[in-house]
Amino acid sequence: MRPESQDFRQPLPHGRGSDRSRARKQAVLTLSFLLVLAAANLAADTRYFVDYLLPRGGARGATVDVEFHGISLENPKEIIFYQPGIKASGFAPYAKPGDGFKVKFYIAPDCPLGEHVLRVRTATALTDAVTFWVSPFKTVYESESKIGEDDTMEKARPIPMNVTVEGQILPGPDMDKDFYRVQGEEGQHISVEVEAARLGTLHFQGENDLCVRILDSAGKELGHNDDSALYVQDPVLSVIAPRAGAYFIEIKQQIFYPPRQAWYRAHIGNFSRPTAVFPAGGQAGSTISARILGDPAGERTEQVKLPQKPGPFDYFSGGAPSPNVLRVSPYPNVLVGDPVAALPAAFNGILEKPGDIQTFHFTARKGQSWKVQVFARTLGTPVDPRIWIASAKEPKHLLDADDARLVDLGQPSARGTWHVKDQLDPIAIFKVPADGEYVLGVEDTTGSGGPDHVYRVEVEQVRDTIYTHITMNDGYQMPRLTGLIVPQGNRSHRPDRAPGQSMDAGRATGAGIRQHLQGRYRTGGARPSPWRHHDRAALPQRRHPHAGAVRRRA
Instruction: Domain 50-135: give its CATH code.
Output: 2.60.40.10
Which conformational region is residue 496 in: left (phi greater than 0), alpha (psi within -120 to 50 degrees), or beta? alpha
Please identify, in words, the CATH class of the domain defined by 138-269: mainly beta
Average pLDDT over every residue of 90-102: 92
Question: Looking at the domain that runs over 276-461, which CATH code has it been given?
Answer: 2.60.120.380
| Residue 164: partners with Cβ closer than 8 Å, 6 or more residues away | 57, 59, 135, 137, 138, 139, 140, 265, 266, 267, 268, 321
Q: Are 272 and 297 in contact (CB under 8 A)?
A: yes
Q: Is a pLDDT exceeding 50 seen at residue 114?
A: yes
**10 Å Cβ neighbour count for 386?**
19
Cα-Cα-Cα-Cα torsion 522, 526, 528, 529, nearest 10 degrees, comes to: 170
Q: What is the pLDDT of residues 321-342, one digit of tens each?
A: 999 999 999 999 999 999 999 9
The confidence band for 532, taking pLDDT boundaries of 50, 70 and 90, is very low
Q: Decide whether 138-269 matches 276-461 in CATH topology.
A: yes
Residue 427 pLDDT > 50, yes or no? Answer: yes
pLDDT of residue 44: 44
- Whole-model pTM: value is 0.79
CB 331 within 8 A of CB 345: yes
| Mean pLDDT, residues 178-189 taken together | 97
**Average pLDDT of 459-467?**
86
pLDDT at 145: 86
Domain ranges of the chain: 50-135, 138-269, 276-461
CA distance linking residue 545 with residue 233, whole number of Å: 22
Q: Is 218 helix (H, G, I), strand (E, B) or coil?
A: coil
**Looking at residues 268-290, what average pLDDT do you find?**
97
- Distance, in Å, from the CA atom of 31 to the CA atom of 50, rounded to the nearest integer, reads 33
90 has pLDDT over 50 = yes
User: In a 3-state reduction of DSSP, which class is residue 17?
Assistant: helix
136 to 115, 180, 195, 322: CA distances (angstroms): 12, 19, 14, 9
